Structure 1
Amino acid sequence: MPSYRVVAVGDRITDVVRKTLLSPGYGHPAHTEVAKGYGPCRQCLRTFSVGQERRILFTYDSFHGRENMPLPGPVFIHEDYCERYPEDGGFPVDMLSHKLTLNAYARGRRLVAQSYVSNGLIEHELERLLAQPDVAYIHVRDTDAGCYDFSIERKSDKQELDESKRSNGGDSHE
């Protein structure tokens, strides 16, 4: 059992995006299309079936509810409802074959360390980063596209905010 949780974009946000086709917190129009790339979907963390599945592109702030200064960027979700990836599900298997960048942050959005993983051997690198006492959370990003995929948090860390208000659950980000 991993010592971390995987935090995908929350249901409250994805429900609002699917219903309104607007980016939460920004009001920018969301864009729907047939998948041209693998993604992943930021809710279920599965890769898209290119040329088959439909997806929604919208603006999302991966620091919302965690840090004061926003840093919005593009993310995709399935156009149709999908189950949110379980926090205790370990590292998403669909992501192991992709080149990933791990940005380890201290509180205050201070970048403490950055690692690149391309061989699927991510567990050792996550353990190494999470062993650093000043690392509060890790953002997993696609190395080629640069996009935010999901966050990693220590299981032992209890956030001051409840699940619905964490950076990826966010009711105030609607």
Structure 2
Amino acid sequence: MTTYTARPIGPVTLKELRTSDDAGRPMDPFVDEEGGAPLRCCLRRSTPGERIALVSYAPLRRWAGETGVDPGAYDEQGPVFLHADPCEGPDLDGYPFTGAHRTVRRYGRDGRILGGRLVEDGVGPAIEEAFADPDVALVHVRAVEYGCFLYEVRRGR
């Protein structure tokens, strides 16, 4: 069995998002009084008192920019939380943000959606199933309750 890894938003992209997000807005940091926000920079939930920001992020556009693909109509952007200042990044074993309904969305090398799967708990088997298809280049895991992008999983990493 191949092990795939949840990928946080990369450091270069984080630096860009902390200046101007994918909708062109400047970052507006705040202190998270309650905690619990899913941070895409380190793939953990925020703790009370941390300085975070909510920014607009276009994950498929970013991937497409690396690969030279035009994502076309699949170029979605949406809100993600991240630390307002650089952090250590993830320290995890397995897949984060489990315990709730998730969508595992498959994308081909051309940036088009190849399918998706709703999972109730534990995305691992759905990710393995997705990558059993040789046409799948990457997978996005999203929260069902808000539709938010949580993280990306790529083939061969």
Give the TM bin, normalised by the shorter chain: 0.7 to 0.9
Q: What residue number does 1:39 align with? A: 37
Give the whole-Å Cα distance in 1 for the aligned partners of 2:16 and 2:113: 30
Q: How large is the Cα RMSD of the aligned pairs?
A: 2.4
SS in 1 for 2:104: strand
How far did 1:124 drift?
A: 1.6
Q: 1:132 to 1:109 in 2, by over 3 A?
A: same
The answer to whether residue 57 in structure 2 is matched with residue 60 in structure 1 is: yes
The answer to whether residue 73 in structure 2 is matched with residue 91 in structure 1 is: no
Moved more, 37-46 or 145-154: 37-46
CA displacement, residues 13-44 of structure 1 (integer Å, 9 cap, x when unaligned): 222333x3x21x54212232333663311110
Structure having greater relative contact order (Cα 8 Å, sep ≥ 6): 1
The answer to whether residue 154 in structure 2 is matched with residue 153 in structure 1 is: yes
CA displacement, residues 84-110 of structure 1 (integer Å, 9 cap, x when unaligned): 236xx55334x1223211101112222
Give the whole-Å Cα distance in 2 for the aligned partners of 1:37 and 1:98: 18
What are the ranges of 5 or more consecutive residues in structure 2 without an aligned counterpart? Answer: none
1:26–1:59: 8 Å Cα contact kept in structure 2? yes
What are the ranges of 5 or more consecutive residues in structure 1 without an aligned counterpart? Answer: 157-174
Q: 1:90 to 1:137 in 2, by over 3 A?
A: farther
1:34–1:54: 8 Å Cα contact kept in structure 2? yes
Identity of aligned residues (%): 29
Q: What residue number does 1:8 align with? A: 8
Q: Give the TM-score normalised by structure 1.
A: 0.72
Q: What residue number does 1:77 align with? A: 82
2:99–2:120: 8 Å Cα contact kept in structure 1? yes
